[in-house]
Structure 1
Amino acid sequence: MNKGLLWLLFSFLFLAGCGLLSSTDPQFSREKYDRWYDKEEYQKALNHVNERLESYPEDPLLWNEKGYILINMEQYSEALVPLEKAIEIDAESDSAYNNKALVYNETGEYEQAIVAAQKAIDLSEEEPEQFINMGNALSFLERDEKALEYFNKALAIDANAPYAQYGKGVSLYFLGKYEEGIPYFENFLHSYPNDIDALWYLVYSHDTLGDYMETIPYLNQIIDHQNDNPINTMDYKGLMLTYAGKWDEAATVYNGIIEQYPREAIGYYGKGVLQIQKGQTDNGLQSLEQAVSLDNSLKDTAYNDPLLSSVYQHELFKSIVE
């Protein structure tokens, strides 16, 4: 599995340790900014903080807030300027250092993220976010054992911190400890029930463990909430049902794919594999032939598919894959 693709979730945003900074702006309101963030009205928040900075240019919390707003707007390089200004004014701003670590994680500068996160940790060990950001950077660098240590430290501060739960699950997954990681993804889903990445980790974990039917509820949830074409997830569901010996249910899935996507090869391929598993060899090979006619690259897939080993020597199969 590609860690980079499945760690898109770690684009989460937080303003760590903001309570440790004091604002000189009497109109500063944490609740006001939070309402803007909740509604994703980032430009309104940016306009407001810029206006307040005109009156209070030496307020580190306002500069830190500006950096955080720009992070939300995915203007990561621009965010570093106000964050550095916040640190220039208040060198003890663990929040600004932590937000710098978040920027570096987003831009792929993981070694710099480690330096910034460590500075935030040195300044304050009372918040879980610094440890989460450190764990993220280490995980992206494939230093999963070390990353696990920091996610555990975050959980020692807040046992219910969702992203620490998620990070620990990811670290355990890439350490091959699939069964141990499952409860952490499940705990994370209590806070973010439709998070696609966490759902996929649970699917892959149960698949690797051979618990094929355990994947089905998660795959159904992914299908229900995918905004793009769910055909590949539907195919995965059919494959899991096939492995589990639930052939009638798998047939329903593949027939549904063919009905919805009659010009896509994947439905015919899955149906063919299933028919061959059920001993319907001639029908199965005809389905495979139709799949290959729609997508010639499936020849290689079929040639190496262990579920088709029973027909490797069949003349029609040979003609399909040659």
Structure 2
Amino acid sequence: MDKNQHAIQLMKEQKYEEAAGIFNAIIEANPDDPIGYINFGNLLLHINDTERAERFYNRAIELDANAATAYYGLGNLYYDKQDFPKAQKRFLQAIEIGLEEADAYYLLGMTFFHQEDYKLALPYLMRATELDSEETEYVFQYGLSLAQSDHIDAAKPVFNQVLELDESHSDAHYNLGVIALFEEDLQSALDHFDQALAIQPEHVLAANAKKQIMDVWHNTDL
């Protein structure tokens, strides 16, 4: 195990001071190698020292304009600050350089999602699910973006895929219930809202939707 790997392992064990000491020694020994700055930036970001983390990432980029993981680190930093336009720019740079990782595509897609540009989020969230089809959150957010973009027919099988990955996903049931309402299948909608509430009794949206269905049926019986 080399020094970088050892320091990263110490980070995972939450031994941050020891990890910082090793990263600092690596930088002193190799001041023109961007990897040390990127790893130290990751550590600083992990402990919420965002100001210093930003400096370390930028230093790595000064040393190597194609340091994709430095752009990715900056993207995470801005994403955590909810500065989605800045995060979007950095994730896009990382991907353009060649960072072909599901998380980068997912977070880039979510920068658009949080700005309610659902159609622009779609290709990146779709790519994230292609790279990691077992990650429930990637699949769910892709389905949600499809639904928000009025691609209801395409969203339905995606939400069903979420339930295949996690049968206790209450929000997938809720969204399938909403789709069933669009399809005018009240019984199927009620079944999904009931399942959402069985999983998450405080699911307010599912409870309200169920109440609306029950009110319709009650008024119809009258």
Which range, TM-score by smaller chain?
0.7 to 0.9
Structure 2: gaps (5+ residues): 218-222
1:192 corresponding residue in structure 2? 99
Instruction: Within 5 Å, give how 1:114-129 maps onto structure 2.
Output: 114-129=20-35
Query: Would the aligned equivalents of 1:291 and 1:298 in 2 still touch at CA under 8 Å?
Result: no
Select which of 101, 108, 114 maps to 1:208. Answer: 114
What corresponds to 1:289 in structure 2?
Answer: 190
In structure 1, the partner of 2:67 is: 161
How many pairs were matched up? Answer: 212
5 Å-filtered alignment, 1:122-137, equals 122-137=28-43
- The CA deviation at 1:116 is 1.8
Q: Which of 1, 7, 15 is residue 109 of structure 1 equivalent to?
A: 15
Q: Which residue of 2 aligns with 1:314?
A: 212
**Paired residue secondary structure (1:210):** coil
Task: Check the 8 A contact 1:234/1:253 in 2, yes or no.
Answer: no
In the aligned structure 1, how far is the partner of 2:32 from the partner of 2:25? 13
Between structure 1 and structure 2, the one with the greater Rg is 1
Partner of 1:31: none
Give the superposed CA RMSD. 3.3
The alpha-carbon deviation at position 313 of structure 1 amounts to 5.7
Task: Give the Å deviation of 1:164.
Answer: 1.0
1:139 to 34, 45, 50: 45
Aligned to 1:176, the other structure's residue is in SS state coil
- The correspondence of residues 1-322 of structure 1 with structure 2, limited to 5 A, is 67-68=1-2, 96=3, 98-190=4-96, 191-193=98-100, 195-228=101-134, 233-244=138-149, 246=150, 249-255=151-157, 257-258=159-160, 264=167, 269-276=174-181, 278=182, 283=185, 285-295=186-196, 296-301=198-203, 303-304=204-205, 311=209, 314=212, 316=214
Distance 1:231 1:207 in 2: 17
Structure 1 letter corresponding to 2:67: A
Go from structure 1 to structure 2 and tell me whether the alpha carbon gap of 1:290 and 1:233 turns closer, same or farther (over 3 Å shift): farther
Q: Kindly provide the CA deviation profile for residues 140-190 of structure 1, in whole angstroms up to 9, marking residues without a partner as x.
A: 101122211100011111011111111111111112221112122122223
2:220 equivalent in structure 1? none
Identity rate of aligned residues, in percent? 21
Aligned partners of 1:231 and 1:257 also within 8 Å: no
